[in-house]
Structure 1
Amino acid sequence: MKRIHVMAAVIRNAAGQILIAKRPDDAHQGGLWEFPGGKLETDEDRATGLRRELLEELGISVTQARPLIDIRHDYPDKSVRLDVWLVTGFNGEAHGAEGQPVCWVAPSELGNYSFPAANAPIVQAAQLPERYLITPDMADEGALFAGLEQTLENGIRLVQLRQTQLAEREYRALTERVLARFGERFDWLLKGNEPPEYPGVGWHLTARQLHELGSHGLPPRSSTGWLAASCHNAEELSLAQQLGVDFVTLSPVLPTPSHPDAAGLGWEAAQALIGSINKPVYLLGGMSPERLSEAFDAGAQGIAGIRGLF
């Protein structure tokens, strides 16, 4: 089977906008928007290939980049690897050096543009941050709120409200108070047996829910927030892929104080599992900001954590 390695870039400018380019009308999937890039040459280093393609297509010289997401598609006659990097530093003014239309858009506006279906995970990765906070169980609501204020100061915006000590009714009441205070200052995900009904608030499925929904499908969702799932092995990652979640957490990577008897996957196994799913993956378990570079090298979107981020 023919194997094709394609480099692509999510290019972010100082204003936080993302550069997208329009495919020629006479090309395969012509008229759709895409993330710039092109085929890696034989024996060419990935970073070198990325720099070459962006210089040829956009006239920019890359100065800072890292892997973002790796997507693989098998067709009857070929296998395509879409190797996507996040570019946050470059010299020159990006333009369509080959005559293609290009534009800078806010990450939140990417959904307004038509991309090839294979680009959907890239759109999600481009919109998601590097860190995903899971709140620790806290009986002291004041301390929880103070911790969330500190979380804002630390620049974390993606948060799962997890309070396992609360019954469903208590959890819902707390959710109301949290949203009243913090509102849209965070991108929220909630736990529960049903999808949240709050506009823009997401739902984080447990591994148990993944297995239960795998044969029944997802219930109707009225919220436009993120849909995520907790995964621990290849089977659960496959279920998450089938259900069409936006991203997953994979754990535990390393031993943690909260689960001292749980053996960690380790970096090598985590990297292999990340390669089995075309979704952004946050690594969880023993993670801290100091582990971010290792997470990126393993192909992860970033890290998720409780104690390491709160």
Structure 2
Amino acid sequence: MSRSTPNTAPDGSSLPVVHVAAGVLIDMQEKVLLARRSADSHQGGLWEFPGGKLEPGEQNRDALCRELEEELGIQVRRARPLIRVTHRYPDRAVILHTWLVTSWEGDPRGREGQPLSWMPVAELPHWPMPAADIPILRALDLPDTYLITPPGFKETALFLRQLQQALDKGISLLQFRLFGLPASGHEVLARQACRLCEEYGARMLLNGPLKLARAVGAHGVHLDRRSLMALNDRNGYEGLLLGASCHDALELEQAQAVGVDFAVLSPVLPTLSHPDAEILGWEGFSQLSQGISIPVYALGGMAPDLLEQSWKQGGQGIAGIRGLWPSSV
């Protein structure tokens, strides 16, 4: 994708628009490279992900490679889109085309005299960074796959075995979503699932009431569209990961406005569970997901082999039930 040169910011204001390619370099110890901006620059003194402005007509990835070679003296070998962020400062609008860089040649050094620091991902929120970089921290904190439990199951032992199989395969983010159980049985199973997730270092979001989520020790809450649209802010959800189900631009805008951590957008492809639903397609998903600055998972007809396609279309990754939930016992 090449840089556009609109006269106005994405929100319709007359602010100048600056397009930036930024690289999130992550090493084998899962540490991320930060560079400090010079004191006399915009947002001077803050720490940021290395990168710089796109030149007219330049491809995003080409700009990334050029900037990282100029700033750090490295050659990018493997990178994939992470998140596109639009942020409005008082004097300008910035659009960050962010890439996750996992392989490069050379040892990064501040070729322009800028200080560098390798930081664990968990410590990044404690560093002074430009406001435009905050959504990038959310994207880094989330995995590329979001598993949703089947809404019904045959028996508890089988459900827990299949959940363990999913965790064994590396699932680290789960939405607990079950229907038709008595309240007591629902709470007991949610507690068991949460404990199992914690044994694997995974996080479980409850699709249900906030009170129940806190009672079972869930790591977060997943909002359905009705709950999302009724929400005014994040009050009451402090300390919890907050996700939301979205199906159109209005719901995505609401998710961003109330401060959810990520959204799930569907249906991207046809599904057996909703055969008559209006399909977004990858083009529709791309247009909607890149219109906001929070991580967005693609849902609907997803399978592991579609992960790269989601990244290319601006997604955080994929979410799913049938395509991700283990079928063996």
Pairwise TM-score range, normalised by the shorter structure: over 0.9
Partner deviation per Cα, 1:235-283 (whole Å, 9 max, x = no partner): 1011101100111000011110111121211111111111221110000
Give yes or no for contact 1:199–1:225 (8 Å, CA) kept in 2. Answer: no
Out of 186, 198, 222, which is 1:183 matched to? Answer: 198
Structure 2 counterparts to residues 106-125 of structure 1, below 5 A: 106-125=120-139
Q: Who is 1:192 aligned against? A: 208
Partners of 2:264 and 2:131 in 1: CA distance: 23
Q: Does 1:210 align with 2:224?
A: no
Call closer, same or farther: CA 1:135–1:276 in 2, change over 3 Å.
same
Call closer, same or farther: CA 1:9–1:184 in 2, change over 3 Å.
farther
Out of 265, 284, 304, which is 2:280 matched to? Answer: 265
Q: Residue 228 of structure 1 aligns to which amino acid in structure 2?
A: G
Partner deviation per Cα, 1:95-146 (whole Å, 9 max, x = no partner): 2222222222222222221211111111111111111111113232222222
Q: Does 1:281 align with 2:281?
A: no
Q: Who is 1:236 aligned against? A: 251
Partners of 1:218 and 1:79 in 2: CA distance: 25
Q: Does 1:28 align with 2:42?
A: yes
Partners of 1:132 and 1:181 in 2: CA distance: 16
The percentage of aligned residue pairs carrying the same residue is: 46
Q: Does 1:46 align with 2:60?
A: yes
TM-score under structure 1 length normalisation: 0.93
Structure 1 segments (4+ residues) deviating >6 Å? none
Structure 2 counterparts to residues 1-310 of structure 1, below 5 A: 1=7, 2-74=16-88, 78-136=92-150, 137-185=152-200, 186-194=202-210, 196-197=213-214, 201-214=219-232, 217-222=233-238, 224-310=239-325
Tell me, which stretches of 5 or more residues in structure 2 are unaligned? 1-6, 8-15
Tell me, which stretches of 5 or more residues in structure 1 are unaligned? none
Q: Residue 37 of structure 1 aligns to which amino acid in structure 2?
A: G
Give yes or no for contact 1:295–1:302 (8 Å, CA) kept in 2. Answer: yes
Instruction: Quote the RMSD (CA, aligned, Å).
Output: 1.9
Give yes or no for contact 2:267–2:300 (8 Å, CA) kept in 1. Answer: yes
Call closer, same or farther: CA 1:127–1:180 in 2, change over 3 Å.
closer
Aligned residues: 307
TM-score under structure 2 length normalisation: 0.88
Partners of 2:46 and 2:24 in 1: CA distance: 16
Q: Who is 2:4 aligned against? A: none
Give yes or no for contact 2:164–2:196 (8 Å, CA) kept in 1. Answer: no
Partners of 2:197 and 2:309 in 1: CA distance: 32
Give yes or no for contact 1:254–1:263 (8 Å, CA) kept in 2. Answer: no
